[in-house]
Structure 1
């Protein structure tokens, strides 16, 4: 289709707009956006869980110290007090005979990789929404400028109409109709200006700053960014490899498959190697002497017989989770293809609409200019002039909206392609400072 090329998508696709404001704002958002900070915290938690799971491969142990004072009474009624001092170290190690520990590590590792993919997916979304908010602010500013030009044109027409009426060449109806057009144009200004400010507020929050502290450069932008060259979209295989949501779904599937193994291992006995060394004596000074030394070593086999079916039910639960994750993975692949095809189709329509409206604006400008000249010479009626002015204002407003739609469609394509996370800067753990 027109407007795209099969070349690979660059890492920092927003640079294709060749707008330093877009580059700066997207980079700021990728560092300070609050959603990214949440995703980064979730990744840290997943890494901590993985470290905890890996600890299952290592022995566990603990030191203890004890002091007891005992009183005993013999058959004659005499009482005797004795002291006992002891210190020791206990250690245990679970033999991963049925793979429960290794499977739990695999599940935790896949969860960590899925969390990393979620961070990358958040980066894709933040980059696209930041560029979209900036383009929206610029587009509404452009529409405000068009509306102001329209107000001026309609006001000039109203002034001319009033002068003709005062000279006896027009009617009061003509004056009223020209006034209606002026007020209709005026009515568009506050709405467009409010939407422009709303986009600036959204842009500020995306970059991690309070809404009132919106970017000054974005506030002065009056033209939506445009990627001049055809958009590089690559191929379908590269798309699926690049989309973080597809990767996250695949890693979640791997984690749930590993958890089936963890639940299956619970059906079998667990074997732990236990050992302890101790020093005990009735006098503190005897601690460390050969006669105070003691030890124990041996295996401990424990088995919770799955007589009530609970363990087997947990296996079935894990298998159902894995089946659901497989369906989610298939859905993520289909959704990635769907979103890309939809975005490309809408982009093609937006480009064609913008081109057609540009031609319409050029034609309506010529028609309005000729109509005013003919009106001045008395060849056209005032109604014909008003129709020409109305057509020009309508086409210019439609073109401004079409330009905004085209910019939005380009950004939607980039978001659907899933790029922008590969060389992203580190995420800050503090708000942006302005």
Structure 2
């Protein structure tokens, strides 16, 4: 260990004799001076593109700008504990979320890789050589040993900001990955909520079909009794039985749709498809939003929508990459140095007489490359233009989503009110038709028409209730509200074990 320790002292400029301290210190000073020159960058500096937006949404002219956190956990406005629990479980166990978190860790590791370009690279090596040579004159064999140790150092100076722009691009990449995760979380919460509302809607419609079919079977039994008494015809009996069977026939279709929604929720939660079917069957009430969502103003989409923020960060990242490509057009300067020690005995390593060192700069100038480097810059500029267009498109898409959701929710509430009036009237018409038919004052056709119309209107009312909830969910997604609180993306999904050196199997 003593010779190696002496070699380390020599590298640091701390050799006992001081013979090599001055050259090493000069090398360190040269590197420090060159590092100070590394504040230059080329390529465009990023500026967020201006976007001309209206002062208010066309369908919410009296809205005020959103306050921080006002849309956080918007699905809790349904006041449904089961829905809240399902969303929470999905946010913690969904596989798309796990993949998005892994992309954040990848982006962070990429930044560390790029950041290493600011620092020198040092490699050390030790060798031991044993040789034997046969002397032809005497026939004797001559053996010799040679021990060598040394370090090589190299440092490419970031004179024109290639590494600096690379770190800038990596920083924007981390932010883009974080926005991608937020977008995934928002989409996930909306998908769970929508499938939950639809599942509850199918259960409510199944219950309606079962109750209606039971009532229609009672009507069919009354009709048969009248037929047996000679007060009705066989045609009326057949029609009454057919109507009850037709209503019952809707149940298998609704059960299939319910199962599909329940299976989707389970998969979104990272579980097998049938995992939450029984859980969803408990209680069939269709959730209804208890509080409205504030629509905000168009400028809020720039702050709230994670897909818009993602597009903006990708634009910033692509702008930094232009500077990376531009820097390759300029000369590059590297500083290299080496320290070597050798001896025929281990004890000779580190002695002043066995040490050799060298250092100096090297300059590489691109002279001719057939336009490859300039084309690389143009590639990055074209990609920047693509991201620029994608950002503006994302803004327009977000505004479109908000306007569609506002219109859809408002109009569906109007439709629901009209359907509720229709249901009340059809219910009264059905009651009167059955009373009059029982008294022989009306035809059976009026009873059938009243029961069919009542079922259709009640089913449409349930579907409208589902649509109000789904339009509310669409508005929550369009406005960009998401889960509150910090999200830990540092924990890997797969933990490897025994990664060190070991015998191969």
Q: TM-score when scaled to structure 1? A: 0.94
The answer on whether the counterparts of 1:33 and 1:207 sit within 8 Å (CA) in structure 2 is yes
- Seen in structure 2, the aligned counterparts of structure 1 residues 298 and 424 have a Cα distance that, compared at 3 Å, is closer
Tell me if the contact between 1:31 and 1:426 (Cα under 8 Å) persists in the aligned partners.
Answer: no
SS of match in other structure, 1:232: coil
Aligned 8 A contact 1:11 1:423 in 2: no
| Between 79-88 and 129-138, the greater mean CA deviation after superposition | 79-88
Distance in 2 (CA, whole Å) between partners of 1:227 and 1:354 is 14
Report the CA distance shift for 1:306/1:335 in structure 2 as closer, same or farther (over 3 A). Answer: farther
Deviation of the 1:304 alpha carbon: 3.6
Q: Which residue of 1 aligns with 2:502?
A: none
Q: Are 1:226 and 1:407, in contact at CA under 8 Å, matched by a contact in 2?
A: yes
Q: Tell me, in whole angstroms, the C-alpha distance in 2 between the residues paired with 1:410 and 1:292.
A: 80
The alpha-carbon deviation at position 220 of structure 1 amounts to 1.5
SS of equivalent residue, structure 1 residue 234 = coil
| Structure-2 residue corresponding to 1:15 | 76
Matched residue SS, 1:130: helix
| Equivalent position of 1:393 in the other structure | 455
Q: Residue by residue, what CA displacement relative to the aligned partner does 1:126-175 show, whole Å, maximum 9, x if unpaired?
A: 00001111111111000001111110111111111111111101111111
Task: Indicate which of 434, 438, 450 corresponds to 1:372.
Answer: 434
Equivalent pairs, count: 430
1:125 equivalent in alignment to 2:187: yes
How much does 1:425 deviate?
4.9
Aligned residue for 2:329, secondary structure, equals coil
Distance 1:246 1:229 in 2: 26
Equivalent position to 1:58, from 83, 107, 119: 119
Secondary structure, counterpart of 2:363 in structure 1 = strand
| Aligned mates of 1:429, 1:276 — CA distance in 2 | 40
Aligned runs of 1:25-424 on 2, under 5 Å?
25-69=86-130, 81-214=143-276, 216-423=278-485
TM-fit CA distance, 1:233: 2.1
Measure how far apart 1:16 and its partner are.
0.5
Structure-2 change in CA distance of 1:51 and 1:195 (3 Å): same
For 2:91 and 2:269, how far apart are their aligned partners in 1?
A: 8
The Cα shift of 1:202 comes to 0.9
Supply the distance in 1 between the matched residues of 2:403 and 2:433 (Cα, whole angstroms): 45
How far apart are residue 10 of structure 1 and its match? 2.6
**Residue segments in structure 2 that go unaligned for 5+ positions in a row:** 1-58, 495-505
Q: Which SS does the other structure have where 2:160 is aligned?
A: coil
How far, CA to CA, are the matches of 1:14 and 1:320 in structure 2?
40
- The secondary structure found in structure 1 opposite 2:303 is helix
Distance change (3 Å), C-alpha of 1:425 and 1:322: closer
User: Aligned with 1:305: secondary structure?
Assistant: coil
Kindly indicate which of the two structures has a greater share of residues assigned to helix. Answer: 1
Q: Structure 1 129/139 Cα, relative in aligned 2: closer, same or farther at 3 Å? A: same
Structure 1 unmatched ranges of 5 or more: none
1:195 Cα deviation from its structure 2 partner: 1.1
Distance of 2:278 and 2:449 partners within structure 1: 39
Secondary structure of the 2:230 match is coil
Deviations 1:266-325 (A, max 9, x none): 111211111122211222221121111221111121234243111111111111111111
Q: CA 1:343–1:313 in 2, change beyond 3 Å: closer, same or farther?
A: same
TM-superposed CA distance for 1:391, in Å, is: 1.1
